[in-house]
Structure 1
Amino acid sequence: MTRPHSLRLAALLGALALTTALGACAPLIVGGAMIGGTMMATDRRTSGAQIEDQAIELKSLNRIRDVLGERGRVSTTSYNRMVLITGAVPAEADKAAVEQAVQRVENVRSIVNDVEVMGSPSFASQSNDAILTSKVKATFVDARDLSANAFKVVTERGTVYLMGRVTEREATRATELTRGISGVQKVVRLFEIITETELAELQPRPAAK
């Protein structure tokens, strides 16, 4: 039998795909990626929190579009209801309006507004950021002492933002690895720190024989 949260997830992801298709030319970006079954199972957020974060990102995009129109380029990324706003807008008033728009979205717990007042980044800059994000993720996958799926990585103008529910040990290790990657200008930690005991409780339990 299909569980109710699975139905909600399917509907939400369908809406995300439709919104992305309709707004392909819009300069607004949703930070969340599609959630596959394996990634959803290994994500340290509850399935409900993952769905809620996707909803927050979608609603934030719509609210920002209403207040910003075609001005600037803004991205939103939600992790456990903490929303990171990055990108560029032409005026301080636009930066404030973007934050106020996200504040009006239901279930948002906190906001980190790192939008810059400047011209939109070049295609080369955006491409470089995408490459850096891929490098960071690949480095986490290669690290035997980290669970790559515990982290969300966002890069803007060479600054790498790290989000996730991790221990202080994992946070320190991930930060060190990221700082060692060529091209990374700065690392911003937006972690929700948990204890080693809490981490042990989050690990999948072996199936009963």
Structure 2
Amino acid sequence: MTRPLLRFAAASLAAAAFAATLSACTPLVLGGAAVGTLVALDRRTSGTQLEDEGIELRAAARIRDAMGERAHVNISSYNRQVLLTGEALTEADKQRVGQVVSGVENVKGIYNELGVMGPSSLTQRSSDTLVTGKVKASLVDARDLSANAFRVVTERGTVYLMGRVTQREADRATGIARSVGGVQRVVRLFDIISEEELQRIAPQPAR
């Protein structure tokens, strides 16, 4: 996929997420949506991609049953590692959400980044969506990176970066994200691989 198309896909994802924030209030947001051929370019196996989507769906259902309206949770699973962002009303609620997700099949680890506070405002969520779009677009513009290797999640100005990347790619992407307007902090949740492994798993460009 060419960089203009990748940039369009990143912008489309951001626009779709922004539109979702304008609909009726929904306490759970899934982070595993994929666009067309971006799935084929993912460094995870197709089986792992399906497992991550399944984890997000099952976790959402279980949190909804356990918490109702007591938590607004964004669920992002990458390589079976689950990032939880959003808000819980109490510390006990936050811990309860983590316990619920830990019981979901195929989950290998959890990053519980829920804030203990009331639900964020529409303005804040819209701002986070725009920041995510800008970070994704900046990664697309970087000629020395494969933008589809990264998952970008933004919560209250903090950008979380996930993906199977080399140390070189991790450092480069972190620097790019930090330079984007509106980013207050960058948290790296990478699965670091070697340059040799990258050569084995990276999709080869069409000839």
Indicate whether the TM-score tops 0.5: yes
**Can you give the 5+ residue segments of structure 1 that lack an aligned partner in the other structure?**
1-19
RMSD of aligned residue pairs (Cα, Å): 1.8
1:33 matched to which residue of 2?
33
Flag the 1:145–1:98 CA change in 2: closer, same or farther, 3 A. same
Residue in 2 that maps onto 1:116? 115
Distance 1:142 1:119, change over 3 A: same
The higher-RCO structure (CA 8 Å, 6+ apart) is 2
Equivalent residue for 2:102? 103
**Would you say the 8 A contact 1:71–1:89 is kept in 2?**
yes
SS in 1 for 2:70: coil
Q: Which residue of 2 aligns with 1:45?
A: 44
Whole-Å separation in 1 of the counterparts to 2:158 and 2:204: 36
What is the deviation of 1:62? 0.5
Task: Determine if contact 1:129/1:155 at 8 Å carries over to the other structure.
Answer: yes
Aligned equivalents of 2:67 and 2:157: distance in 1?
Answer: 24
> 1:1-209 counterparts in 2 under 5 A?
25-36=25-36, 38-205=37-204
Contact 1:26 1:70 in 2 (8 A): no
Residues 157 and 25 of structure 1: CA distance in aligned 2, closer, same or farther (over 3 Å): closer
Normalising by structure 1, what TM-score?
0.85
Deviation digits for residues 12-33 of structure 1 (CA, Å, limit 9, x no counterpart): xxxxxxxx9xx96431111111
Query: Which protein is bigger by CA-based radius of gyration?
Result: 1
Post-superposition offset of 1:207: 7.5
**Matched position secondary structure for 2:59:** helix
Q: For residues 31 and 206 of structure 1, do their structure 2 counterparts lie closer, same or farther at Cα, with a shift above 3 Å needed?
A: closer
Q: SS of the residue aligned with 1:175? A: helix
8 Å Cα contact 1:153/1:163 also seen in 2 = yes
Query: Which structure 2 residue ranges, 5 or more long, are not aligned?
Result: 1-19
Q: What percentage of aligned pairs have identical amino acids?
A: 60
Cα deviation digits, residues 155-201 of structure 1 (max 9, x gap): 00000000000000000000000001111010000000000001111
Distance 1:207 1:61, change over 3 A: closer
Q: CA deviation at 1:202?
A: 1.4
Q: Which runs of 4+ in 1 moved over 2 A?
A: 23-26, 203-208
- TM-score scaled by structure 2? 0.86
Distance 2:82 2:205 in 1: 34
- How many residues align? The count is 186
